[in-house]
Structures are given as C-alpha cells and as structure tokens.
Amino acid sequence: MARSRRSAKYLDIHPEDPQPRLIEQAVAALEEGGLIAYPTDSCYALGCRLGDADGLERIRRIRQVGKDHHFTLVCADFAQLGQYVLVSNPTFRLVKNATPGPYTFILPATREVPRKMAHPKKHTVGVRIPDHRVTHALVEALGEPILSSTLLLPGQEDPPSEGWVVQDLLGEQVDVIIDSGEVGIEPTTVVDLTGSEPVIAREGAGDVDRI
C-alpha cells in the first residue's frame, strides 16, 4: 500500500450488525499492507496482517516499543488460535473457559508464526479471541489472525476510547480507522501460560478470578 500523509480512511461500522461492505474495505487495506486502528471488547488496537514486517515496524514506531514487546494474534475462534500456539490439555481448559473475552494468553508459538512476529528470545506470542462483533467480522473476513497491539501511545495513561480521538492522534500514521462507538480504555488481562502455573502478567479488563 502506498504511503502518504493523507488522513486515514474513516469507517463508521455498526457495533452489532457490521456492514459487510465496510468490513471488506478494512480487510482490503490489511491485505494491501495497511495498518488499521480498530475497536475490541477491551479498547482500541493497532493491527496489521500476520507476516507484514512493515506493519509490525509501524506499530513499534507508533507505540515506541522495543524488540521484546509481545504482540498479540487476534483470532476468530479457538480452532484458529490452535494453529498458531501450542496448547496443552490443562491450558486448553483454561483458555476455553475465558474466551471469548478480554484476555490475552502468552503461549509458545508454532511454525505458523513468522519468527520476527514472535518474542525474539522465547518464541512466544500473545493470542486472544475478543467478544466483539466488529473484531470478529474483521478476522473472519481476513481468514487469518490480525497481528495487534493495544493502541496506547507514549506519555498517555489510557488508550483513546472513540474513533474521532484516534483520528486526531493518528490520522496520518494509519490507513484505516474503524469507529463502532465508544469502547473501553482498559487493556486486556494478560496471562502467561508458558510455565507450570498461570502467571498474571498484567491485570486488566478480564476478571482474574476466571483464571
């Protein structure tokens, strides 16, 4: 996708009944190497296509995060999630019980995850299945997970909660902004499942009592 300083395409998508035509426009942008800002069941996220190294670097520049930052694969369902991470039987039950919902699980990545998309030392990656119709429609239409990171900007305590605020902040740094009404400002609860016991790496929107 050609880069320019033009403002992002702004898509007003219904939160309960996403318009297929608009979902297709967002997916087309991803397929062409675009970066999108989109709502989830926790807060806004930045997303690009899995394997899009340029998109990955754009997210890093916007977020100002280093190589050790854990990115998340936003998946449509548990079957898709299982293609990209290794899930043991005990882990399966825990993750299944907490999805869909505002949880991110850190797990060992499979070979389906490009090396540069995973943690450089641990070869782990975050995965999650949001409980949000627009997010689900995007991932379903794309046919693969969206490589994502919370839209939390340097110096900001909370992510933006509305599309027009995202446009003011990032209108020339992303290709598509999706507005589906106001969303939350609390990122997901992050659970590290790479050890013998679950570890809460970040307490967020997901109830830790379910873990």
Q: Do 56 and 113 touch, CB atoms closer than 8 A?
A: no
Give me the half-sphere count of Cα atoms (radius 13 Å) on the Cβ side of residue 46.
Answer: 29
Grouping H, G, I as helix, E, B as strand and the rest as coil, residue 36 is strand
* In the predicted structure, residue 7 carries a pLDDT above the cut 90: no
Q: Each residue of 108-154: pLDDT tens digit?
A: 999 999 988 998 889 999 999 999 999 999 999 999 999 999 999 99
The SS3 assignment for 49 reads strand
Q: What is the pLDDT of residues 188-211, one digit of tens each?
A: 999 999 998 999 999 999 999 988
Place of tokens 């890093």: 60
Integer-rounded Cα Rg, in Å, for the chain is 16
**pTM, entire model:** 0.94
Mean pLDDT of the chain: 94
